[in-house]
Structure 1
Amino acid sequence: MTEHHHGHEHGAHTQHMQMHDDGHQPHEHSMHMGHMGNLKQKFIISCLLGIPIIILSPMMGLSLPFQFTFEGSDYLVLILATVLFFYGGMPFLQGAKMELQQKSPAMMTLISLGISVSYVYSLYAFVNNHFFHASAHVMDFFWELATLILIMLLGHWIEMNAVSNAGDALKKMAQLLPGEATVIDEEGRTKEVPLTDVQIGTKLLVKAGGKIPADGVIVSGQTNVNEAMITGEAKDVFKSVNDSVFGGSVNGSGTITIKVTGTGESGYLSQVMALVKQAQSEKSRIESLSDRVAKWLFYVALFVGLLAFAVWLAVSGDVSVALERLVTVLVIACPHALGLAIPLVVARSTSLGAKNGLLIKKRQVLEVAKTVDVVMMDKTGTLTEGNFSVNEVTSLASEWTDHGVLAWLAALEKNSNHPLAKGIVQAAEKLELAIPQAADVQNIAGVGLVGMVDGATVRVTSAGYLDEHQLPYDKALFTELSRRGNTVSFLTRDDQVLGLVAQGDQIKYEAKDMIAVLKNQGIQPVMLTGDNDQVAHLVAEKLGISQVHSRLLPEDKETIIKNYQADGHIVMMVGDGVNDAPSLARADVGVAIGAGTDVAVDSADVVLVKSDPADIIHLLSLAKNTSRKMIQNLWWGAGYNIIAIPLAAGVLAKAGLILSPAVGAVLMSLSTVIVAVNAMLLRINE
Structure 2
Amino acid sequence: MKDMDMQHMQHHDSYDMGDMDMGNGEMMHMGNLKLKFWVSLILTIPIVVMSPMMGMQLPFQVVFQPWSDYLVAILGTILFIYGGQPFFSGAKAELKNRKPAMMTLITMGISVAYIYSIYAVIANDILHTKLMVTDFFWELATLIVIMLLGHWIEMNTVMNAGSAVDKLAKLLPSTAHKLVDGQVKDVPIADLVEGDRVQVRAGEQIPADGTVESGATSVNEAMVTGEAKLVEKRRQDQVVGGSVNGDGTFEMTVTGTGESGYLAQVMKLVSDAQAAKSSQENMADKVAGLLFYAALTVAIVAFIVWLLVGNLALALSIAVTVLVIACPHALGLAIPLVVARSTAIAASHGLLIRNRDAMEQVNKLNYALMDKTGTLTAGNFKVSEYQSQTDELTDDAVLAMMAGLENGSSHPLAVGILAAAKEQQVTPKSVTDVHQITGVGLSGTIDEHTYQIVSAAYLDKQHLSYDKQTFDRLASAGNSVSFLIQDTAVLGYVAQGDQIKPEAAHLIKSLKAQQITPVMLTGDNPQSAQVVAHQLGIEEVHAGLLPEDKAKLVQQYQADGSHVMMIGDGVNDAPSLARADIGVAIGSGTDVAIDSADVVLVKSNPNDVVDFLALARQTTRKMAQNLWWGAGYNVITIPLAAGILAPLGFILNPMVGAVVMSLSTIIVAINAMTLRLRD
8 A Cα contact 2:24 2:93, kept in partner: no
Give 1:86 shift: 1.0
More divergent stretch after superposition (626-635 vs 465-474): 465-474
Deviations 1:171-217 (A, max 9, x none): 2222222222112233x322122222223332222233332211223
8 A Cα contact 1:512 1:543, kept in partner: yes
2:105 is the counterpart of 1:110: yes
Give 1:416 shift: 6.0
Deviations 1:631-662 (A, max 9, x none): 10011111122221111111111222110111
Give 1:28 shift: 5.4
1:250 to 237, 244, 267: 244
Question: Structure 2: how far apart are the matches of 1:440 and 1:157?
Answer: 63
1:198 to 173, 192, 200: 192
* CA separation of 1:258 and 1:647: change in aligned 2, threshold 3 A: same
Question: Structure 1: how far apart are the matches of 2:24 and 2:96?
Answer: 17
TM-score (norm 1): 0.91
Report the AA paired with residue 230 of structure 1: V
Q: Report the equivalent of 2:355.
A: 362
Question: Structure 2: how far apart are the matches of 1:334 and 1:449?
Answer: 73
Q: Report the equivalent of 1:275.
A: 269
8 A Cα contact 1:19 1:275, kept in partner: no
2:39 to 29, 45, 48: 45
1:289-438 equivalences under 5 Å are: 289-316=283-310, 318-414=311-407, 418-438=411-431
Report the AA paired with residue 290 of structure 1: A
Q: Report the equivalent of 1:517.
A: 510
8 A Cα contact 1:527 1:540, kept in partner: yes
2:606 is the counterpart of 1:604: no
2:522 is the counterpart of 1:529: yes
2:162 to 134, 145, 167: 167
Q: Report the equivalent of 1:136.
A: 131
Question: Structure 2: how far apart are the matches of 1:474 and 1:529?
Answer: 29
More divergent stretch after superposition (644-653 vs 199-208): 199-208
Q: Report the equivalent of 2:569.
A: 576
Question: Structure 2: how far apart are the matches of 1:471 and 1:22?
Answer: 58
1:476-515 equivalences under 5 Å are: 476-493=469-486, 495-515=488-508
* CA separation of 1:231 and 1:468: change in aligned 2, threshold 3 A: closer
Question: Structure 2: how far apart are the matches of 1:426 and 1:242?
Answer: 36
Give 1:558 shift: 1.1
Question: Structure 2: how far apart are the matches of 1:559 and 1:404?
Answer: 49
Give 1:613 shift: 0.8
Report the AA paired with residue 171 of structure 1: D
More relative contact order, 1 or 2 (CA 8 Å, 6+ apart): 1
More divergent stretch after superposition (248-257 vs 626-635): 248-257
Q: Report the equivalent of 1:622.
A: 615
Deviations 1:359-414 (A, max 9, x none): 11112111123321211001111111112221111233345332111012223334
Q: Report the equivalent of 1:22.
A: 14
Question: Structure 1: how far apart are the matches of 2:421 and 2:612?
Answer: 40
Give 1:81 shift: 1.0
Q: Give 3-state SS (helix, strand or coil) of 1:34's partner.
A: strand
Report the AA paired with residue 332 of structure 1: I
* CA separation of 1:660 and 1:205: change in aligned 2, threshold 3 A: same
Deviations 1:435-456 (A, max 9, x none): 3344566666886555543344
8 A Cα contact 1:32 1:95, kept in partner: yes
Which stretches in structure 1 are left out of the alignment for 5+ residues? 1-17
TM-score (norm 2): 0.92
Question: Structure 2: how far apart are the matches of 1:424 and 1:440?
Answer: 19
8 A Cα contact 1:168 1:602, kept in partner: yes
2:203 is the counterpart of 1:209: yes
Q: Report the equivalent of 1:3.
A: none
Q: Report the equivalent of 1:540.
A: 533
8 A Cα contact 1:27 1:99, kept in partner: no
Question: Structure 1: how far apart are the matches of 2:657 and 2:109?
Answer: 13
Give 1:472 shift: 6.6
Question: Structure 2: how far apart are the matches of 1:120 and 1:270?
Answer: 51
Q: Report the equivalent of 2:176.
A: 181
Question: Structure 1: how far apart are the matches of 2:15 and 2:374?
Answer: 25
8 A Cα contact 1:214 1:263, kept in partner: yes
Give 1:591 shift: 1.3
* CA separation of 1:219 and 1:74: change in aligned 2, threshold 3 A: same
Give 1:564 shift: 0.6
Question: Structure 1: how far apart are the matches of 2:461 and 2:86?
Answer: 76
Number of equivalences: 667
Give 1:584 shift: 1.1
Question: Structure 2: how far apart are the matches of 1:131 and 1:472?
Answer: 107
Which stretches in structure 2 are left out of the alignment for 5+ residues? 1-9
Question: Structure 1: how far apart are the matches of 2:587 and 2:12?
Answer: 16
Question: Structure 1: how far apart are the matches of 2:586 and 2:156?
Answer: 23
Report the AA paired with residue 505 of structure 1: D
Report the AA paired with residue 62 of structure 2: F
* CA separation of 1:624 and 1:417: change in aligned 2, threshold 3 A: closer
* CA separation of 1:335 and 1:189: change in aligned 2, threshold 3 A: closer
* CA separation of 1:143 and 1:269: change in aligned 2, threshold 3 A: same
1:602-681 equivalences under 5 Å are: 602-681=595-674
Question: Structure 2: how far apart are the matches of 1:419 and 1:257?
Answer: 25
Question: Structure 1: how far apart are the matches of 2:90 and 2:193?
Answer: 47
8 A Cα contact 2:567 2:577, kept in partner: yes
2:81 is the counterpart of 1:89: no
8 A Cα contact 2:225 2:545, kept in partner: no
Report the AA paired with residue 420 of structure 1: L
2:123 is the counterpart of 1:123: no
8 A Cα contact 1:21 1:603, kept in partner: no
Q: Report the equivalent of 2:556.
A: 563
1:154 to 149, 159, 167: 149
Deviations 1:492-543 (A, max 9, x none): 4465543321111111111111111111111100000011111000000111
CA root-mean-square deviation: 2.7
Aligned sequence identity (%): 60
* CA separation of 1:212 and 1:448: change in aligned 2, threshold 3 A: closer
1:232 to 226, 244, 248: 226
2:222 is the counterpart of 1:264: no
Question: Structure 1: how far apart are the matches of 2:273 and 2:422?
Answer: 47
Question: Structure 2: how far apart are the matches of 1:441 and 1:359?
Answer: 46
